[in-house]
């Protein structure tokens, strides 16, 4: 999108169809102008908007391919709460806490409702999350979103990560499986594709905060990486 437009102007262009939505996270470049080597939707629903795109603007090797990382996968229950479950599980893990199943479910629902509270109920706080509002209203009205998020099986994704990274003051990095990026059945590592809450990399005492690493698979599911 163009350089110095305000968020309000961008949102209006998205609504009237004169602008195209594409959200990427640094250091990965946009590849909307080129034939992308790989792209995927990470929104946790059946929409067609893009969460992130990986590839080179010149059509060459993706920078992400240079950063294959290795972790263990901690499986998360796929009941529609997987994003929220993975996030609460990760934050608890970083504190050395093992959540019981009912605690994980309850905490996941609390995160979902916390998003609803700041986006749908607290108008004075809503403007603090303009990136999330843009991501939400590209595909549906805010009213419809606020109705859907009440459901316990609401699938979280891009918009919710934008909100929760700030609410929880938590650095969150989303990965995809290496083999999905390559488009083949080989590759056992994980590739980072998006980062949220980068302003929270350090705590008040200047120590690096522990990262919550989420694994997104092409089946609209989030697990935890440790």
* Active site members: 79, 82, 221
Indicate the burial class of 72 (C-beta count within 10 angstroms; 0-12, 13-18, 19 or more). Answer: exposed
Backbone phi, psi, residue 178, to 5°: -55, -40
Contact (CB, 8 A) for 83 and 155: yes
Asked if 216 and 222 touch (Cβ cutoff 8 Å), the reply is yes
- Beta-carbon contacts of residue 124 (< 8 Å; ≥ 6 apart): none
What is 151-170 written as a DSSP string?
Answer: STTPPP-HHHHHHHHHHTT-
What angle (nearest 5°) sits at the alpha carbon of residue 51, between those of residues 114 and 150?
Answer: 30
- Contact (CB, 8 A) for 140 and 163: no
Alpha-carbon Rg for the chain, nearest whole angstrom, is 17
Beta strands in 60-124 (DSSP E): 73-74
């Amino acid at each position: 999108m163009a350089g110095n437009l305000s968020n309000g102007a961008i949102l209006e262009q998205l609504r009237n169809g004169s602008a195209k939505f594409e959200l990427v996270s640094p250091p990965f470049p946009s590849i909307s102008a080129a034939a992308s080597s790989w792209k995927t939707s990470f929104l946790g629903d059946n929409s067609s908007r893009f969460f992130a795109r990986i590839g080179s603007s010149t059509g060459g090797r993706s920078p992400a391919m240079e950063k294959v990382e290795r972790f263990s996968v901690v499986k998360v229950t796929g009941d529609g709460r997987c994003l929220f479950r993975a996030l609460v599980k990760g934050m608890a893990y970083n504190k050395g806490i093992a959540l019981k199943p009912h605690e994980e479910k309850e905490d996941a629902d609390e995160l979902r409702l916390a998003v609803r509270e700041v986006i749908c109920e607290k108008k004075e706080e809503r403007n603090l999350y303009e990136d999330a509002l843009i991501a939400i209203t590209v595909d549906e009205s805010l009213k419809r979103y606020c109705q859907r998020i009440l459901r316990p099986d609401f699938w979280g994704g891009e918009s919710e990560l934008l909100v929760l990274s700030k609410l929880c003051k938590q650095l969150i990095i989303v990965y995809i499986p290496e083999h999905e990026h390559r488009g083949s059945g080989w590759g056992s590592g994980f590739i980072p594709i998006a980062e949220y809450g980068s302003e929270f990399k350090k705590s008040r005492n200047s120590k690096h905060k522990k990262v919550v690493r989420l694994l997104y698979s092409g089946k609209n599911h989030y697990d935890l990486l440790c």
